[in-house]
Chain A
Amino acid sequence: MYFLNLWYLWFLPALAIPFLLNILKNRKIKHIEFPYYELLFNSKIKNLAHFKIVNYLLLFLRLSIIAVIIFFMARPVFVTKYADGKVIEDIPTVFIIDNSQSMSYLNGSISLLNSALVLAEKSILSLNKNISCALIYMNRYGNVEIMESYSNPEKLLNVLRNLKVQNHKFDVAQSIQMAVSYLQAVKSSAGKIVVLTDNQKHNWYEFQKPSVDKKININFIYPKGISIKTAGIVGFKFPQRLPLRGDKSFVAVTLKNFSDVEWENVNLKFFMEDELMDKTSVTLKPGQVLDHIFYYRCDQSKKFLKGIVKFECPDFSIDNNICIVFPSYYPDDIYLIGDNQMNLFLKYGLLTYIKDPGSFINECGIDSLGSIKSGVIIFNNYIDSETSAIQLKNFVAGGNCAVVFYTSVKDDKNSRQIAVAGCDMENPLFHPYKQMGGGVFSQIQFEAGKSERLFPELEQRSVLMKSADGIPFLEEISLGKGKIFVFYADSSGELSNFVKTGVFVPLLHRIMDRIITLRNGDIQYYNRDMSMGLDLSSDSRFSIQWITPSNQVFSPDSVFISGCYRIDNLPFDNPGFYTLKNGSGEKIFACNISAYEGDMTFIDENELTNIFADNKVSFSNLLENSNNVLTQNAQGSAIFIFICLLLCIVELLIANLAG
């Protein structure tokens, strides 16, 4: 036996309190010389011996109450047997708990996660507390986290008690890699990894086996003997935003029946803003994959829409409402003007912006410039003729936008490479970089020569990015109803490393967002980077409201981190359409995208044994654990309260009736 909260034993001197009270009470006894002693003597019901016995009994009970309270607060742990009857080995152990959505599958009335938690708790308690021990689980953001015990298993038990199912795919590979790293870090000659999971096949897709030391044993504990046939997958195939094109918007859904039974006439419905947009009925054989496209008309005035695909399969036991929330933009046609070779970085940058850009991106020569009436022009050619300049100006002045890669230093022998030193953080383009600071752009280098600017005659311009000596790198020029974003660099990566840096693609995407939204008026917010659209102060405390789909309101306060105030974490719990507001009522829509579960069938034990061929791999049944209650949480508390109450009642009874 050992104590989880050993320091509570420091309260043991509190046992002196009843003693002191008893002494004080005895001192407080009044001594009275009384004339009619005989009458009193005859009136007394109990004798002095009885009185003393009662006193000592009360003292004992009061001591017991305090002792019991201290004892239970110190959380005694009695080393128990493991589920299969063996005492767990005293070697460093890492428990990996899969808390993905599929672990909420109910086996009878108990979820798989609950069984896993109980088993993990039992195992942790059975370990010698001085043995290195850790727990790996998935947090609400879908990231795998590790919690080390540091000789205090209570930390792990607390995590277990609060562990919930998360709507994300559990990354087994990363978890095992993390466990291996931990075991290597504790420099033990041997180690053990206990994986409590439903062992679905989809967890192992694209699994890259980590290098696991031969001395590490791996124990997979999964629900043997049950067949989760009632779960499946709903996937989506669409760009990362819902494109609105004319009146026809669409979302493509991919269905795959991973179960071994046929889904017959399953209703599939698509809702937008709670309005049924389209529905269909599908039949899928086991293993069959089906693509379906929902077409719908979307209100173009809305830039953020909530869509839900409802999969009405009566056999499904897990949530089959998949929420999709993306900003809905009317996509413009994009014209890449210039040499194809020079378009290479731009094209692939845009490909990641729109996954299916086939119908939107047009590559054309400079000759076609005059014929383009609307859309977005990305100009990467030298503007060496007056005609091209006029055509570009006319295009922009007509209410369009253009991105121009312009450099005038091609033949300038005095040019030099300089770095970008800062940017206009107040511009919405750079909101995502607020937390990182302007230094993130310092990796960009560009050729600076005579500093000739594009269209110097246009006065409505602002420098968005510049070097330390003020030479502009990115300018925003307003012309008529449109804007031109000018990068003073080439798009081929010869004179500037800009297109080869990590900031190129995100910045290009943000410029595209900016341009698209400018078409429908100057919008205030973006949700691409979450929480970046609100005008929140970074140099003073602020608070926001986080409103969930069920209209629950949370008010996370800003914290001072890394030199500025910001919200550290937002409570992303469930998929849905959230609203983020600041005090003045300014608001932004944010989404939390549902993750999906994959193939629910179990991975074969032989397959796992082969993956970890160098290690000793064992398998146990998660469902063999008969105890389904977290002992420390429920039973322990109940016993504790019962004993305390019992002692208190007895104390009160004796104190009041035994006088």
Chain B
Amino acid sequence: MRKYLDPAVLAQLQGLELKAKLVVEGNLSGMHKSPFKGFSVEFAEHKSYFPGDDIRYIDWKLYGKSEKFFIKQYEEDTNLKSYLLLDTSKSMGFPEKSQTKLEYSIFLTVAMSYLMLSQRDSVGLLTFNDSICDYIPPRNEMSHLHYIVDILEKIKPANKTSISHSLKYLASKIKRRGLIILISDLVDDQENVLKHLAYLRKMKHEIIVFHIMHPDEVNIPYHGTVKFKNMENHGEITAIPDRIRNNYSKNLQNFINTYQQNCWQEKIDYHRIITSVPVEKAILNYIAGRKKV
């Protein structure tokens, strides 16, 4: 069994629909509203004609061969191109001794990919740290999922985070409007990240930001004297967590609030996920939240 293709998780996501809140560019004849009609319709199968069926879809060639009326049926989805941006920087390797944020994020990526693909949407993947690690253009075949998983299984946390760089890269790659899903702990220059997100938003892309946090990052549940080392840069501080917990919580809350407010202003979907929440539950929570909007 493949590490990140957990059937239990994927089974939970069956039947769910990810609604794009905004109109996205693409051949939409199904769930997604599209400004383009009668484009990119893909043949699926034939069925016998019954009175009342639209005669425009009668396959006349087949009638010529068989002298029977058959109606052509088409696939009606796959008009949304989504891009999953996965942060693989060193900070995503936290914590060392249990499930890391990166492992959790990979689960989340796979689950989201499956969800999108099951809706006939195209899914692309971009992994990055301070540079672009892998880029897979979007495709809508289910077999694409295995390709994505192959890539994800090889990822190891390394290097610094440069979200802005990855966003810039993606902007240069995307020709049409699409859905961009950023999965990261956002340990980066906050101003820069927000600036590039806003830029992409101006390009009419829909953006979802999954802010991945480990509970220990929220609570710093350490006691005694602790030497904290910077994961992505040089520097260390010795502190007694009990003494600094309050200040840290305030600072963290400010950090999150800044993201929340700016994302809200730019109509970016910001969603914070604590890794103690199971992946499927986190996705369900998110989608439930989206439906309410």
Distance of A42 Cα from B187 Cα, bound (Å): 15
**Any chain A CB within 8 A of the CB of B74?**
no
Question: Could you say which residues of chain A place their CB within 8 Å of the CB of B185?
Answer: 35
Chain A contacts with B in 17-48, Cβ cutoff 8 A: 25, 28-37, 39-45, 48
Inter-chain contact B225/A25, CB cutoff 8 Å: yes
**Any chain B CB within 8 A of the CB of A572?**
no
Inter-chain contact B226/A45, CB cutoff 8 Å: no
Question: Could you say which residues of chain A place their CB within 8 Å of the CB of B251?
Answer: 39, 42-43
Question: Could you say which residues of chain B place their CB within 8 Å of the CB of A41?
Answer: 235, 237
Inter-chain contact A40/B229, CB cutoff 8 Å: no
Inter-chain contact B238/A48, CB cutoff 8 Å: yes
**Any chain B CB within 8 A of the CB of A571?**
no
Question: Could you say which residues of chain B place their CB within 8 Å of the CB of A36?
Answer: 187, 217, 252, 255
Q: Which of A30, A35, A48, A51 contacts B217 (CB under 8 A)?
A: A35
Question: Count of B residues near A, CB < 8 Å?
Answer: 33
Distance of A34 Cα from B101 Cα, bound (Å): 12
Shortest Cβ distance from residue A464 to the other chain B in the assembled complex, whole angstroms: 84
Interface centre among B96, B229, B237, B248 (most CB of A within 10 A): B237
Inter-chain contact A33/B240, CB cutoff 8 Å: no
Closest 5 CB pairs of A and B: A43-B247, A35-B91, A37-B230, A43-B248, A39-B251
Q: Which of A30, A33, A37, A44 contacts B222 (CB under 8 A)?
A: A30
Question: Could you say which residues of chain B place their CB within 8 Å of the CB of A28?
Answer: 224-225
Where the two chains meet, the residues of B that have a C-beta atom closer than 8 Å to any C-beta of A are 91-92, 94, 96, 101, 185, 187, 217, 220, 222, 224-233, 235, 237-240, 243-244, 247-248, 250-252, 255
Shortest Cβ distance from residue A39 to the other chain B in the assembled complex, whole angstroms: 4
Inter-chain contact A39/B252, CB cutoff 8 Å: yes
Given A35-B91, A36-B252, A37-B228, A659 contacting B243 (CB threshold 8 A): yes
Inter-chain contact A33/B96, CB cutoff 8 Å: yes
Question: Could you say which residues of chain B place their CB within 8 Å of the CB of A659?
Answer: 240, 243
Given A40-B237, A41-B235, A45-B243, A35 contacting B229 (CB threshold 8 A): no
Distance of A30 Cα from B237 Cα, bound (Å): 11
Chain A residue nearest to B233 in the complex (CB): A37
Inter-chain contact A30/B243, CB cutoff 8 Å: no
Given A29-B238, A34-B94, A48-B238, A40 contacting B228 (CB threshold 8 A): yes
Question: Could you say which residues of chain A place their CB within 8 Å of the CB of B247?
Answer: 42-45
Interface centre among A35, A37, A42, A51 (most CB of B within 10 A): A35
Shortest Cβ distance from residue A594 to the other chain B in the assembled complex, whole angstroms: 69
Distance of A44 Cα from B225 Cα, bound (Å): 13
Q: Which of A30, A37, A42 contacts B226 (CB under 8 A)?
A: A30
Question: Could you say which residues of chain B place their CB within 8 Å of the CB of A42?
Answer: 247, 251
Distance of A34 Cα from B220 Cα, bound (Å): 10
Question: Could you say which residues of chain A place their CB within 8 Å of the CB of B235?
Answer: 37, 41
18 contacts between A and B (CB under 8 A): A25-B225, A28-B224, A28-B225, A29-B224, A30-B222, A32-B222, A32-B229, A33-B96, A37-B237, A39-B251, A40-B239, A40-B248, A44-B239, A44-B244, A44-B247, A45-B244, A48-B237, A659-B240
Question: Could you say which residues of chain B place their CB within 8 Å of the CB of A34?
Answer: 94, 217, 228-231
Question: Could you say which residues of chain B place their CB within 8 Å of the CB of A37?
Answer: 228-233, 235, 237
Distance of A207 Cα from B96 Cα, bound (Å): 94
Interface string of A218-245 (1 = CB under 8 A from B): 0000000000000000000000000000
Report, as a range, how many residues of chain A touch the other chain: 20 to 34
Chain A contacts with B in 628-659, Cβ cutoff 8 A: 659
Inter-chain contact B239/A33, CB cutoff 8 Å: no
Inter-chain contact A35/B243, CB cutoff 8 Å: no
Chain A residue nearest to B242 in the complex (CB): A659
Q: Which of A25, A31, A33 contacts B94 (CB under 8 A)?
A: A33
Question: Could you say which residues of chain B place their CB within 8 Å of the CB of A48?
Answer: 237-238
Distance of A36 Cα from B219 Cα, bound (Å): 12
Distance of A198 Cα from B26 Cα, bound (Å): 122
Inter-chain contact A29/B227, CB cutoff 8 Å: yes
Inter-chain contact B237/A32, CB cutoff 8 Å: no
Question: Could you say which residues of chain A place their CB within 8 Å of the CB of B225?
Answer: 25, 28-30
Chain B residue nearest to A51 in the complex (CB): B238
Distance of A64 Cα from B91 Cα, bound (Å): 45
Distance of A45 Cα from B246 Cα, bound (Å): 11
Given A40-B244, A42-B251, A31 contacting B217 (CB threshold 8 A): no
Shortest Cβ distance from residue B212 to the other chain A in the assembled complex, whole angstroms: 10
Distance of A42 Cα from B246 Cα, bound (Å): 12
Question: Could you say which residues of chain B place their CB within 8 Å of the CB of A33?
Answer: 94, 96, 228-231
Distance of A139 Cα from B101 Cα, bound (Å): 84
Inter-chain contact A39/B248, CB cutoff 8 Å: yes
Distance of A51 Cα from B101 Cα, bound (Å): 32
Chain B residue nearest to A55 in the complex (CB): B225
Shortest Cβ distance from residue A659 to the other chain B in the assembled complex, whole angstroms: 5
Question: Could you say which residues of chain A place their CB within 8 Å of the CB of B96?
Answer: 33
Distance of A48 Cα from B226 Cα, bound (Å): 12
Q: Which of B226, B232, B233, B250 contacts A29 (CB under 8 A)?
A: B226
Distance of A36 Cα from B101 Cα, bound (Å): 13
Shortest Cβ distance from residue A424 to the other chain B in the assembled complex, whole angstroms: 80
Distance of A32 Cα from B229 Cα, bound (Å): 6
Shortest Cβ distance from residue A553 to the other chain B in the assembled complex, whole angstroms: 55
Distance of A34 Cα from B222 Cα, bound (Å): 12
Question: Could you say which residues of chain A place their CB within 8 Å of the CB of B232?
Answer: 35, 37
Shortest Cβ distance from residue B97 to the other chain A in the assembled complex, whole angstroms: 10
Question: Could you say which residues of chain B place their CB within 8 Å of the CB of A31?
Answer: 226-227, 229
Shortest Cβ distance from residue A158 to the other chain B in the assembled complex, whole angstroms: 46
Inter-chain contact A43/B244, CB cutoff 8 Å: yes
Inter-chain contact B244/A35, CB cutoff 8 Å: no
Distance of A40 Cα from B243 Cα, bound (Å): 11
Shortest Cβ distance from residue A564 to the other chain B in the assembled complex, whole angstroms: 65
Distance of A34 Cα from B233 Cα, bound (Å): 10
Distance of A30 Cα from B229 Cα, bound (Å): 10
Inter-chain contact B226/A32, CB cutoff 8 Å: yes
Inter-chain contact B231/A35, CB cutoff 8 Å: yes
Question: Could you say which residues of chain A place their CB within 8 Å of the CB of B224?
Answer: 28-30
